[in-house]
Copies of this chain bind each other. A is one copy, B any other.
């Protein structure tokens, strides 16, 4: 089983009430890969500059992520994002974005990346997502997106959505995309475009899963210490799709629910420290222990009185 992810590989500068980092490894494909790498063989596709060196490759390869499809652009600089969070940590405020090599990104998949059974199209321009989807042989493909593409490339985004099995976006974006304020109706409208699963990410409130068979939701894992929310949504997607990719068969409803649980757990570890710091030294045992805690936390199944 293997999983290909296409998306941004970045250096982030992040400031939160709990600390500052001037330059650390980030980007949606990175956070996704480090989470998914616990469950399956991950291949990451994306461009970096000459400033992306052995230390950064080592973080990815330390998790078993295959980096041979990372394109190192001669003379280029890696995508750079700078942002900060206020006291409540809920909203990322972007201070600077330098696309650098990411601005001219034309995804090229190797044969091995094309042949991965699972594909994740992280948040990039939807026409690029479609180009990647067209190259891929994946039997299960998912995408993330954002308000920018809903506002500037809605037709392309709807076409991209029609070509995947699963959409993972913020709940506000499910509403914005469909013009439907009721989330259950909005999710159904997304499924009407083609996907058989919609995951509405709800920040600290957790995430909701909509499928033709039904509804499932998980709260965010309760944490008293959150240091940096950057990458939480990508870590969620990595836990979710990584778990699904590791299965032998087509996912059924309970597989999708368990995948939601692993997504929730990976996102919770991600935010405990800055950037990739916590996930880099995370173990599968810690993941499984927190998954069991989460399962106990949401259970109504003990014998009622």
Contact = CB atoms under 8 A, between A and B. Distances in A.
A297 B182 contact: no
Interface string A188-232: 100000000000001011101000001111010011111000000
A202 B217 CA distance: 14
Contacts of A302: 254
A297 B217 contact: yes
Contact of A224 (B88, B185, B301): B185
A189 to B, nearest CB: 11
Nearest to A181: B88
A175 B90 CA distance: 13
B304 A301 contact: no
Nearest to A294: B300
A257 interface: yes
Contacts of A205: 202, 205-206
A300 B223 contact: no
Contacts of A219: 206, 208, 217, 219
Interface in A248-305: 249, 252, 254-255, 257-258, 261, 294-305
Given A205-B202, A214-B297, A304-B254, A183 B87 contact: no
Nearest to A249: B305
Contact of A298 (B175, B217, B223, B296): B217
A92 to B, nearest CB: 15
A153 interface: no
Contacts of A258: 300, 304
A226 B297 contact: no
Contact of A300 (B175, B206, B298, B303): B298
Interface in A147-177: 175
A182 B224 contact: yes
A184 B222 contact: yes
Given A208-B219, A219-B208, A87 B181 contact: yes
B295 A184 contact: no
A254 B181 contact: no
A216 B183 contact: no
Contacts of A184: 222-224
B89 A300 contact: no
A173 to B, nearest CB: 14
B216 A298 contact: yes
B204 A183 contact: yes
Contact of A181 (B89, B182, B185, B247): B89
9 contacts: A87-B181, A184-B224, A205-B206, A216-B297, A217-B222, A217-B297, A247-B305, A254-B302, A294-B300
Given A206-B217, A294-B300, 9 more contacts: A182-B226, A184-B222, A185-B224, A214-B296, A217-B222, A252-B305, A254-B303, A254-B304, A257-B300
